[in-house]
Amino acid sequence: MSLGSTADYTPIVELLESAIALVPPESGSPPTLRLDLRNLEFLNSSGINMLSRFVIMMRQKPQIALVILGSEEIIWQGQSLKNLQRLMPTMQVEWA
């Protein structure tokens, strides 16, 4: 995915934010938000920036577990997903 700028990723950010808004404030066990990136072969720096901001936002929502599904075969995911995990140590990355 290669959109022109960070602003071009706004619809994706809005979709992710709407998914978060659906989580009940006091649910029993923490619900899990899973992002499946296994088939995303390319993401430019604006997209990685958008994901970073999303992960930082998710740190403010400890009632929601974040899991990102990634592929070790896609080069950009190896380093980028590990860096995202540094931003949010409770985030899980599941490799396929």
pLDDT of residue 10: 87
* pLDDT, tens digit, 9 for 90 and up, residues 27-50: 667 788 999 999 999 998 888 988
Q: Please state the pTM of the whole predicted model.
A: 0.84
pLDDT in tens, the chain (96 residues): 667 667 788 898 899 889 888 777 666 677 889 999 999 999 988 889 889 999 999 999 888 999 999 999 999 999 999 999 999 999 999 998
pLDDT of residue 90: 95
pLDDT of residue 51: 93
- Check if the beta carbon of residue 67 is closer than 8 Å to that of residue 27: no
In one-letter notation, the amino acid at residue 63 is: Q
- What are the residue ranges spanned by the domains of the chain? 6-13+31-95
Around 45, how many Cα atoms within 13 Å sit in the side-chain half-sphere?
A: 0
